[in-house]
Amino acid sequence: MRGEQKVVPEVVVAATSQRLELNIKDVGPLAVVGRIVSFLLGLWLVLLAGNSQAAILPEDRSDVMYHGYDGGGLEVVGPSVLVRKGYKDMISIWGNYYVDTITSASIDVVTTASEYEEEREEVSIGVDYLHGKTFMGLSYTNSEESDYSANSVRFGISQDFFGDLTTLGISYARGWDEVSRNGDATFLEDTDRQSYRVDLTQIITKSLIMNLNYEGLTDEGFLNNPYRQVRYLDSGAALGYSYEAEIYPRTKTSSATAVRAMYYLPYRASLKAEARYYTDTWGTDAWNVELAYVHPLAKGITLEVKYRFYDQTAADFYSDLFDREQAQNFLARDKELATYTTHTFGAGISYEFAVPWVSFLKRAEASLFVDYIFFDYEDFRDARVTGVAPGSEPLYDFDSIVTRAYISVWY
């Protein structure tokens, strides 16, 4: 996790008998990246959050995915494999293996350290149980890298009402992490996380489905990056400023509320929309809107395009340049806690086809999704630029490309 926030997307699902709706908690550029990558993972990890497709178990399937992120000096690539198998239309068991290979020469890294490479491995297992119109899901996830170990358990339950037109789901997750620091055997910190989620999905008409979601989260323990530093004015330094370690509060409470809708058009296409608001006790407020259009073509081909806008205010204790050493109790220069906006333009194509030469396979699908993201910061400056007065460096911005390619088979 050196110089970067971990990209560990947490996919949460709200569903009805007609379609799935995906969401992820996100504040910060890498979390935005995680959300885009997790859009595909969400198709695999259905019910990971305990909210499920009403009265129907997910189909038996296996998936292989490649994901890639390239932007701002950071490259993240890796595969993911999912296997799911049901038993007597009541129980479905799944397992997922996911790998991130990270090469970082981002602005956070090159201004205070050197480029590095590391790998993160994540393993998830889960079981889903269907009884009448009640669906329950239980899952466990372990993620390991050289200086961070994360564990989480999630349980959720959903129930259909009013002729299956309404689905109410609730879930609870608990996480416990261990943070270490490469090169320092004495450094070891803990982080505990809890989240509570409520989903209400309603079929409004035969063409319109809406979802209202609320999620509350509490984090306690070591919540910052052990490598990241802040800068402060220092007339005795060659650059006019020096660095010291970040210091974060040891607790944070956050909440997010979202409204989503999907409208089916007469010619089998669909429109999707999302509006979401986030706030936390660190003073960060964020909101986003997203619009997508899905259009089916002949011979099993489906096209999708989307646009997403995200806007965030800075945390109370964030500053690009502090006026002195130890200027306040809490200090942060993480650009993910800065004020910034993003624009995301995405496109994808999927092709569903039969596999007649393999008798036990029902069908298969190949997909490719690509997103272009532009990040624009209002109070984070490019400290790689020298020869100017501290605090007058140009504001930082960058763009990135996110790619997801996968093959799925149903059996």
Answer yes or no: are the C-beta atoms of 242 and 43 closer than 8 Å: no
* Domain count within the chain: 1
**Is the distance from CB of 32 to CB of 139 less than 8 angstroms?**
no
Q: What are phi and psi of 209, to 5 degrees?
A: -125, 135
Q: How far apart are alpha carbons 221 and 366 in whole angstroms?
A: 42
Whether 278 and 286 have beta carbons less than 8 Å apart is answered as: yes
Is 3 within a domain? Answer: no
Q: Is residue 51, in this structure, part of any structural domain at all?
A: yes
Indicate the pLDDT class of residue 86, thresholds 50, 70 and 90. very high
Asked if the structure places residue 230 within a domain, the reply is yes
* pLDDT > 50? residue 192: yes
What percent of the chain clears pLDDT 90, i.e. is strictly above it?
Answer: 77
CA distance 341 to 333: 17
pLDDT in tens, 209-257: 999 999 999 999 999 999 999 999 999 999 999 999 999 999 999 999 9
Question: Does a structural domain hold residue 2?
Answer: no
Task: Give the mean pLDDT of the chain.
Answer: 87
Identify the CATH number of the domain in which residue 146 sits. Answer: 2.40.160.40
Q: What is the pTM of this model?
A: 0.84
For residue 63, what are the domain limits? 11-410
Assigned domain for 372 exists: yes
> Is pLDDT at 386 greater than 50 in this prediction?
yes
Would you say residue 1 lies in a domain? no
Domain annotation covers residue 235: yes
On the question of pLDDT at 12 being above 50, the answer is: no
pLDDT, tens only, 120-138: 999 999 999 999 889 999 9
